[in-house]
Amino acid sequence: MNTLFLDAAFSKQTERPPVWMMRQAGRFMPEYWEIKNKYSFLEMCKTPEIAADVTMLPVDLLGIDAAILFSDILVTGEAMGGDLSFTQGVGPKFANPVRTLKDVDALEIDVLDRLQYVADAIKVIQQRLNGSIPLIGFAGAPFTVMSYLVEGGSSKDFKTTKLLIHNRPEVAHKLLAKIAKVTADYLNLQIAAGVNAIQIFDSWAQALSWNDYQEFSHRYIQEIIANLNRKDIPVISFCKGSSVFAPIMAEAKPDVVSVDWNADLLNIKKSLPAGIAVQGNLDPHILYADKTVIKREILRLFERMRGENGFIFNLGHGIMPDIPFDNVKYAIEVIKDFKY
């Protein structure tokens, strides 16, 4: 296996930074749309062979150093009892929002049988990878999953979620505790099925104040990481807001903190305890730019991180759907040509 990604995640010395990109198996690829136009998004997630097909697209077309399971952060919310749907141009919707204690009590936590399709997909993907590169599994962090359940979908201001955590914190904590239990079980299911690394996505953490992040996000991520069967499995913690929250994130003892593009990556790395790697943190909008700009910005980041063990190249967030495929491919070529 090409262990470049795993070595960097465990803060070992590597000849160059490994590369993978969030949303690398996504809508910027015509080949993705060839599949997406035949099936609904949830059908793609729940059919192991199709999930494997999509997972393998960036492996075959881009030559990245790690694959990431094709799935969605909201499958845990659905398994617990959320009525989940995805609509083109609208995004995810839960038809039965969770807003009262009664709603929270109705959610189930013994739901691994409903997520078995993910374990089945992992086995198919690992057969396809055949030991070539590592496979990353993932889950949504409790606060982010809670925000979708409470809002009933995406939100610009998270008003309903914030009202819940401020006016009825006991209800919010009960909901978060349930999601955290399911998430730890779900990630351990993925580990048992054969993933080589785990990433926890707290996509909406930047909506929280410092104190609220500690109370309603960090403590549950800490609990999840503490309950993982993580021997030889690096754990990556990502949130939008990591440029601010990185010192707290490190307290949960992940192996890697994945950093958004609002901070200097070396400064973040030096602020973290020894042995915690960093992942990031190119602004994904750079990939819209001319190739000379893409190369310049990647090499600028690499020069900044020169001499640092524990650095995985990634974007500060996911690839946008209309970024030109050729630009992504070029970026990966620049990275793979680099040598320290």
Distance CA 261, CA 316 (A): 5
Question: Is residue 26 a contact partner of residue 318, using CB atoms and an 8 Å limit?
Answer: yes
Q: What is the pLDDT of residue 170?
A: 98
What is the Rg, in whole angstroms, of the alpha carbon atoms belonging to the chain?
Answer: 19
Residue 26 marked as a ligand binder: yes
Question: Is residue 241 a contact partner of residue 269, using CB atoms and an 8 Å limit?
Answer: no
The torsion region of residue 323 among left (phi > 0), alpha (psi -120 to 50) and beta comes to: beta
Residue 72 marked as a ligand binder: yes
Question: Is residue 294 a contact partner of residue 331, using CB atoms and an 8 Å limit?
Answer: yes
pLDDT tens-place string over residues 205-222: 999 999 999 999 999 999
Q: pLDDT under 50 in the chain at which residues?
A: none
Q: Which domains does the chain have, with CATH numbers?
A: 3-337 (3.20.20.210)
Which of 69, 66, 53 lies closest to 19, judged by CA? 66
Strands of the sheet with 197-202, listed across from one edge: 67-68, 135-140, 197-202, 235-239, 256-258, 277-282, 311-315
Residue 91 marked as a ligand binder: no
Q: What is the pLDDT of residue 141?
A: 98
CA-based max dimension of the chain:
57
Residue 27 marked as a ligand binder: yes
Q: What is the pLDDT of residue 89?
A: 81
Q: What is the pLDDT of residue 340?
A: 83
Q: What is the pLDDT of residue 306?
A: 96
Residue 173 marked as a ligand binder: no
Which of 87, 184, 117, 196 lies closest to 145, judged by CA? 184
Residue 203 marked as a ligand binder: yes
Residue 148 marked as a ligand binder: yes
Cis peptide before 327 (omega within 30 of 0): no
